[in-house]
């Protein structure tokens, strides 16, 4: 194995650019997806049948189709429509569709929103009835119960499942390399492979970077779970 090629400055810089792109794409998609997921979860657990069915249909489609297909549909589908291309120089938001990063970000955000919404909705439904009854007896309005009792508890309970979703999204960002001009970690490995014909070295280095990032994310979530879920741990007698 020729690891000296991987350690050359220009190739290390290429991996560095890939790491920045991957982490930026991950953080952005998680932030946008979290906002959408919160709205969708409230609609899924709300009293309005129409929005609830619409969001349920959306999450079913998102979870029932591969993420790579969703990326292709946005970049090669929406992004290549003549109606959008005729406006992407002047009309917002279509101006963003000519940017590969935006297309990948939109696909990842919509995908993680679908999965996270179902997680959060399930945690909301699992709120103990006694907590809600106690809050109502205390005189809280429905909005106050949601804000101070239901959502904080649901967010805490969904932390373990959400940590898996974040790690899966980190790995899913490798699909961004399917979009032209996207230089994420996998894209950097593919570039080095095509330039030097070193598939094992290039992709093993990429795997090591993904493994390191996953280790850091899991560690952060373990700390968060230890802090926010400590009250669920069994107590010594």
Mean pLDDT, range 167-178, rounded to an integer: 92
Model pLDDT, residue 198: 87
Mean pLDDT, range 94-120, rounded to an integer: 89
Is pLDDT larger for residue 92 or for residue 10?
10
Please give the share of the chain, as a percent, with pLDDT higher than 70.
94
Is pLDDT larger for residue 162 or for residue 229?
162
Task: Provide the pLDDT confidence category of residue 185 given band limits of 50, 70 and 90.
Answer: very high
Q: Is residue 234 pLDDT above 60, yes or no?
A: no
Task: Provide the pLDDT confidence category of residue 218 given band limits of 50, 70 and 90.
Answer: very high
Q: Which of 208, 182, 174 has the alpha carbon at shortest distance from 12? A: 208
Mean pLDDT, range 43-51, rounded to an integer: 91
Mean pLDDT, range 27-43, rounded to an integer: 96
Model pLDDT, residue 163: 94
Coil, strand, or helix at residue 104? helix
Mean pLDDT, range 156-172, rounded to an integer: 93
Q: Is residue 206 pLDDT above 80, yes or no?
A: yes
Answer whether the bond into residue 93 is a cis peptide, omega within 30°.
yes
Q: Which phi-psi region, left, alpha or beta, contains residue 66 (left: φ > 0; alpha: ψ -120 to 50)?
A: beta
Tally of CA atoms within 13 A in the half-sphere of 223 that contains its CB: 5
Mean pLDDT, range 65-82, rounded to an integer: 84
Model pLDDT, residue 177: 86
Q: In whole angstroms, what is the distance from residue 133 CA to residue 145 CA?
A: 9
- How far, CA to CA in Å, does 167 sit from each of 112, 132, 161, 213, 233? 11, 33, 10, 9, 24
Mean pLDDT, range 139-148, rounded to an integer: 87
Task: Provide the pLDDT confidence category of residue 231 given band limits of 50, 70 and 90.
Answer: low
pTM: 0.88
Q: Is residue 89 pLDDT above 80, yes or no?
A: no
Residue 185: which H helix or E strand, with range? helix 185-196
Model pLDDT, residue 233: 59
What is 8-226's CATH superfamily? MetI-like (1.10.3720.10)
Please give the share of the chain, as a percent, with pLDDT higher than 90.
56
């Amino acid at each position: 194995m020729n690891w000296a090629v991987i350690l050359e400055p220009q190739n290390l810089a290429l991996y560095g650019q890939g790491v920045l792109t991957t982490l930026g794409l991950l953080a952005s998609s998680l932030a946008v997806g979290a906002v959408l997921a919160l709205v969708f979860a409230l609609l899924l657990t709300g009293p309005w049948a129409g929005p609830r069915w619409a969001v349920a249909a959306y999450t079913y489609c998102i979870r029932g189709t591969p993420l790579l297909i969703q990326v292709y549909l946005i970049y090669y589908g929406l992004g290549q429509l003549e109606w959008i291309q005729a406006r992407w120089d002047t009309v917002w938001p279509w101006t963003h569709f000519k940017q590969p990063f935006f297309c990948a970000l939109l696909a990842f955000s919509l995908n993680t929103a679908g999965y996270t919404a179902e997680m959060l909705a399930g945690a909301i439904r699992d709120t103990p009835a006694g907590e809600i009854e106690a809050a109502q007896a205390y005189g809280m309005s429905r909005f106050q119960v949601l804000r101070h009792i239901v959502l904080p508890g649901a967010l805490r309970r969904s932390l373990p499942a959400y940590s898996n979703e974040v790690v899966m999204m980190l790995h899913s960002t490798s699909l961004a390399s399917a979009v032209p001009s996207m230089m994420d970690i996998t894209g950097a490995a593919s570039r080095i492979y095509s330039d030097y014909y070193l598939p094992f070295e290039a992709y093993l280095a990429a795997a090591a970077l993904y493994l390191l990032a996953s280790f850091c994310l899991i560690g952060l979530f373990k700390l968060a779970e230890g802090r926010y879920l400590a009250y669920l741990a069994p107590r010594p007698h």
